[in-house]
């Protein structure tokens, strides 16, 4: 039989890290250095791998000659979109004409670029004044194809009758492409 004071108890693995010996201090410093380097590498990888930011918004001006019977017509534009093309009306929901003075119209408008770069769709929320035939409202980009697949934007629209059955719609605002 071995006396109890001679039997050595096993030392847990973690106790060596907290040892006050010179070897324990060296091990702790190396461990802290390795953990610090991994943290720095992880943070720099996140910064370097960050996705590209969206381009800044640009002012947009669109002039549309809308023929009321077809709902479409030619457009010219400035800004981050094509310079010209044709429009078509996808839908128009006319509500609120009971007042006899004005109505609200929700309109889906598609713009097809003449240069073949793509199309984009806008949602218009306008108020029609029955006395003048003028419309005022807001618009925002719904979707796009081709070069305009990631187009975003919003603004105001004003429509003024030019001749019987023809309205000039002017869109102002800002757009950007991600």
CATH for 58-177, among 3.90.1150.10, 2.40.350.10, 1.10.3470.10, 1.10.1370.20? 2.40.350.10
Q: What is the pLDDT of residues 101-159, one digit of tens each?
A: 999 999 999 999 999 999 999 999 999 999 999 999 999 999 999 999 999 999 999 99
Residue found by looking up tokens 């128009």 in the block: 92
Token pair listed for 55: 């381009």
Residue 31 phi/psi, 5-degree rounding, is -60, -45
Distance CA 12, CA 26 (A): 19
176 within 8 A of 58, measured Cβ to Cβ? yes
Residue 149 pairs in a beta bridge with none
pLDDT tens by residue, 49-100 = 444 345 689 999 999 999 989 989 999 999 999 999 999 999 999 988 788 8
pTM of the model: 0.69
More confident residue, 149 or 48: 149
Rounded to whole angstroms, the Cα distance separating 82 from 117 reads: 7
Domain boundaries, the chain: 13-48, 58-177
């Amino acid at each position: 039989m071995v006396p109890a004071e001679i039997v050595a108890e096993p030392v847990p693995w973690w106790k060596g890290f907290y040892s006050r010996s010179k070897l324990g201090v060296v091990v702790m410093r190396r461990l802290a250095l390795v953990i610090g380097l991994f943290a720095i590498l992880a943070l720099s990888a996140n910064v370097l791998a960050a996705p590209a930011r969206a381009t800044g918004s640009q002012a947009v001006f669109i002039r549309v000659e809308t023929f009321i019977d077809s709902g479409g017509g030619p457009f010219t534009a400035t800004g981050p979109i094509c310079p010209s093309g044709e429009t078509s009306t996808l839908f128009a929901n006319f509500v609120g004409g009971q007042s006899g003075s004005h109505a609200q119209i929700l309109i889906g408008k598609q713009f097809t670029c003449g240069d073949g770069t793509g199309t984009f769709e806008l949602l218009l929320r306008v108020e029609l004044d029955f006395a003048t035939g003028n419309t005022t409202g807001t618009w925002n980009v719904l979707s796009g194809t081709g070069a305009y697949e990631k187009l975003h934007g919003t603004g105001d629209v004003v429509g003024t009758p030019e001749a019987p059955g023809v309205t000039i719609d002017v869109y102002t605002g800002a757009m950007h492409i991600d």
